[in-house]
Chains A and B, each alone.
Chain A
Amino acid sequence: EDQVTQSPEALRLQEGESSSLNCSYTVSGLRGLFWYRQDPGKGPEFLFTLYSAGEEKEKERLKATLTKKESFLHITAPKPEDSATYLCAVQRETSGSRLTFGEGTQLTVNP
């Protein structure tokens, strides 16, 4: 059974204080690892897909990295508008297009 564990559950940062969110996964045959952002009262919004260990992707202040056991979402010099819940999900090679999600990390960036 695929498992995705995100840590920490919640993270409070001051504006400009860089940090990282962790996503540990157990899956037999990883096809892809996804990061989503979810704002309160809204559906998740796609950020990145990572396919193989060593891969990195960047978008504005966010950078996602992938190893064989975990992924990190690095947030550099965050701003209050980066406050959201960040979700990680994995797709197994044999599961078609289905994703298994972690519980998310709730990020709050204070001005």
Chain B
Amino acid sequence: NAGVTQTPKFQVLKTGQSMTLQCAQDMNHNSMYWYRQDPGMGLRLIYYSASEGTTDKGEVPNGYNVSRLNKREFSLRLESAAPSQTSVYFCASSALRTEIPYGYTFGSGTRLTVV
């Protein structure tokens, strides 16, 4: 089972460059998320998509944009990378169940360094 697949796994960008992080899930999940993980700050939500066709800002959306391309794919774009965006980025997905909490399935992460 592939689960949640993220590409690339590693990336080095120069300040001002742009890039798109790709995420795809094969579990027929409705909801998808982008988090960043920094030492001492835990996982922080950047953007999420509750269902296909919708996207919403999370806790730290500045400097990022997202696209929910279809039910399977949710991409994160950095238009003009800054050193403060050096982080590990995780994509996750979950079933949409409004009454019952449900665990996320995470990808293996993208380690991004902006120099």
**Chain A interface residues toward B at CB < 8 A:** 4, 31-32, 34, 36, 41-46, 49, 51, 87, 89, 91, 96-104
Contact = CB atoms under 8 A, between A and B. Distances in A.
A96 B90 contact: no
B102 A43 contact: no
B50 A97 contact: yes
Please list the 8 inter-chain residue pairs (A to B) with the smallest Cβ-Cβ separation, ordered nearest first: A32-B101, A43-B106, A46-B103, A103-B42, A101-B43, A101-B42, A97-B31, A44-B106
Interface of B: 4, 31, 33, 35, 40-45, 48, 50, 58, 90, 92, 94, 96-98, 101-109
A42 B103 contact: no
Given A43-B107, A87-B43, A101-B43, A96 B101 contact: no
A104 B107 contact: no
B62 to A, nearest CB: 18
Contact of B109 (A31, A43, A91): A43
B58 to A, nearest CB: 7
Contacts of A103: 40-42
Given A87-B42, A103-B42, A104-B42, A97 B106 contact: no
Contacts of B45: 98-100
A34 B94 CA distance: 13
Given A98-B45, A98-B58, A101-B44, 9 more contacts: A4-B42, A43-B107, A44-B90, A49-B102, A51-B101, A87-B43, A97-B97, A103-B40, A104-B42
Contact of B98 (A45, A46, A96): A96
Nearest to B39: A103
A1 B21 CA distance: 29
Most buried by A among B40, B45, B92, B103: B103
B94 A43 contact: no
30 contacts: A4-B42, A31-B101, A34-B101, A34-B103, A34-B104, A41-B108, A42-B109, A43-B90, A43-B92, A43-B106, A43-B109, A44-B104, A46-B105, A49-B103, A87-B43, A89-B43, A91-B101, A96-B31, A96-B50, A96-B98, A97-B97, A97-B102, A98-B45, A98-B48, A99-B104, A100-B45, A101-B35, A101-B43, A102-B42, A103-B40
